[in-house]
Structure 1
Amino acid sequence: MTLDTTPDRDPAPAPEEDDDLALRRPAAAGESSRASRQWWDRNADEYQEEHGAFLGDDRFTWCPEGLDEAEAQLLGPTAGLRGRTVLEIGAGAAQCSRWLAARGARPVALDISFRQLQHSRRIDEQRGTARVPVVQADAAVLPFADGAFDLACSAYGAVPFSADTAELMREVHRVLRPGGRWVFSVTHPIRWAFSDEPGPEGLTAVGSYFDRTPYVEQGADGRASYVEHHRTLGDRVRELVGAGFTLLDLVEPEWPDRLAQTWGGWSPLRGRHLPGTAIFVARRA
């Protein structure tokens, strides 16, 4: 597998946000992909500065609740990772891939954002460690051969931003070898019925859980600058089964007493009442 992996130029400048309007409206695959790439290129620096300490340089954490793969072992026993090829989808700065590499796995970190992958290079250079192989691509069109990987994972990456997650699941199935695990975390679908606020207002349902209309932020010209897609728990199960996976587990991490910080709409208050994350553990037939 030959990878053109080195971000060595600046991406084309993305349009600036200017009091974007937030609304619910349809958003097709091309618009969603373009908005995600531009949004993450524009916001990668701020995201890594704000959340980098929590994520760590080589920590594999599944969610704002702080569930680590070292503890959960959702990809299988840690000792069994050595020598396994792993595709991290929506990798950001490849923190999870770096953790996997330190345990003898052979990860490839994929992200749609050029700037996020440049942060992966920055971390590698600062640490003086071997570069994590990175690839810029859309998760719904994976640039890899059939059966190229033993495992695939995604910690809040790509899945919520893809307009056609049924196709994304089929693509992951295609690049996995038989028996390979596919584990991904997303915002718990029930959260879509509630205000995305960390305080008491975030405990009141304001919409329908069954409304799958995408959340879109757009400028005055109507161009989307940010798009996120909602699927119910049942939708996710059907997508996985339809792609040829067997669902092994659905993990809903509880908010730990030790965690006092707030991350966007995640907070100790909401975490005591509502699940914030859903982690799907599936196996390729």
Structure 2
Amino acid sequence: MDPAPEPGSIPAPAPATLPLAADGYPAAGDVTRRPVGQAESARANRGWWDAAAPAYLAEHGTDLGDADFLWCPEGLREADAHLLGDVTGRRVLEIGCGSAPCSRWLRRAGASPIALDVSGGMLARAAELNRATGLPVPLLQADAGALPLATDSVDLACSAFGGLPFVADAQAVLGEVARVLRPGGRFVASVNHPMRWPMPDSPDPADLRVASSYFDRTPYVETDDAGRTVYVEHHRTVGDWVRAVVGAGLVLRDLLEPEWTPGRTQTWGQWSPARGALVPGTLVLVCELPDRPEETAWTS
């Protein structure tokens, strides 16, 4: 096994402390759409998640669990889906781990996980939960676009709504994943379903109306009262995701659009039982690094 990874380089934070709204999340002074590069995205989102970590985990921590693997708000769990296959004895990289419940679940399942996130605030809570659960996993602070791991150093990689929606160059991140995966290794990631983008961010089915273009890739940007970028989210179409996967040298084995789990009542942002019964809210990419370099395509 490779030695423990060294800490990666982290973009300088956007304001060191962000003013919070009444709900505990960073307050947005303005919302706009404009081009944003990777460095600005990473800087802003690191600061936002550092500030938002307490409110986010207070709101969703019970649902996420301390050592559980939830792929998406629809309620799909790895214990039922087995998207990663047999993880026993496998070295697994989790990208965008947050408080790292997925990595602790992987450790309990017999894997050797590494939990990576850009946010020190999230990793601080992950360290607390490592101690509380008795399931310590290595924690690594780094940007997903520059993974501080050796080439061919992990057997599996995963990302449950972590990192990918917030990066300007998804193919570059997927290329990094392909670099650190061993041949035959699998990468599974859940992201916002692209059909969420043109519709209002509301859990009410009455708001299922097209408010903007599905094909408009201009990033969503929040700024503070001083005009500094504090949050960025990037949109890709389904076709964009397929091309990014293939362009990174990975093979796309499956695309999942999870249906709402029967009996699940949680509302999570615009995800809700009523809306989830009508339209997909999550896209899951199941990819592999081919054993043969020439095998780069959609295959099943």
Moved more, 258-267 or 87-96: 258-267
Is residue 196 of structure 1 aligned with residue 201 of structure 2? yes
Find the counterpart in structure 1 of residue 192 from structure 2.
187
* 2:107–2:135 contact (8 Å) kept in structure 1: no
Distance in 2 between residues matched to 1:283 and 1:2, nearest whole Å = 24
* 1:202–1:270 contact (8 Å) kept in structure 2: no
Distance in 2 between residues matched to 1:24 and 1:271, nearest whole Å = 26
Is residue 53 of structure 1 aligned with residue 56 of structure 2? no
The code of the aligned residue for 2:130 comes to: D
Distance in 2 between residues matched to 1:34 and 1:178, nearest whole Å = 32
Aligned counterpart in structure 2 of residue 205 of structure 1, from 185, 210, 231 = 210
Alignment of 1:15-26 (within 5 A): 15-16=18-19, 17-26=26-35
SS in 1 for 2:277: helix
Aligned counterpart in structure 2 of residue 232 of structure 1, from 234, 237, 240 = 237
SS in 2 for 1:101: helix
The code of the aligned residue for 2:91 comes to: T
Find the counterpart in structure 1 of residue 115 from structure 2.
109
Distance in 1 between residues matched to 2:28 and 2:56, nearest whole Å = 19
Aligned counterpart in structure 1 of residue 103 of structure 2, from 90, 97, 117 = 97
SS in 2 for 1:273: coil
Alignment of 1:59-138 (within 5 A): 59-76=68-85, 80-127=86-133, 129-138=134-143
Is residue 3 of structure 1 aligned with residue 8 of structure 2? no
Distance in 2 between residues matched to 1:184 and 1:18, nearest whole Å = 29
Cα deviation code 1:44-76 (max 9, x no counterpart): 011111111000001001000110001100011
Moved more, 260-269 or 102-111: 260-269
Distance in 2 between residues matched to 1:94 and 1:43, nearest whole Å = 16
Cα deviation code 1:199-222 (max 9, x no counterpart): 134311111111000001012332
* 1:63–1:156 contact (8 Å) kept in structure 2: yes
Unaligned runs of 5+ in 2: 8-12, 20-25, 291-300
Cα offset for 1:19?
Answer: 4.3
The code of the aligned residue for 1:55 comes to: L
Find the counterpart in structure 1 of residue 255 from structure 2.
250
Alignment of 1:156-175 (within 5 A): 156-175=161-180
Find the counterpart in structure 1 of residue 23 from structure 2.
none
**Change in CA separation of 1:59 and 1:242 when aligned onto 2, cut-off 3 Å:** same
Distance in 1 between residues matched to 2:125 and 2:174, nearest whole Å = 27
* 1:195–1:201 contact (8 Å) kept in structure 2: no
SS in 2 for 1:40: helix
* 1:189–1:232 contact (8 Å) kept in structure 2: yes
Distance in 2 between residues matched to 1:155 and 1:49, nearest whole Å = 18
The code of the aligned residue for 1:114 comes to: G
The code of the aligned residue for 2:114 comes to: V
Task: Tell me the TM-score normalised to structure 1 length.
Answer: 0.94
* 1:37–1:113 contact (8 Å) kept in structure 2: yes
Task: Tell me the TM-score normalised to structure 2 length.
Answer: 0.89
Distance in 2 between residues matched to 1:87 and 1:3, nearest whole Å = 11
Distance in 1 between residues matched to 2:262 and 2:130, nearest whole Å = 33
Distance in 2 between residues matched to 1:83 and 1:19, nearest whole Å = 44
SS in 2 for 1:247: strand
| Identical counterparts, % of pairs | 52
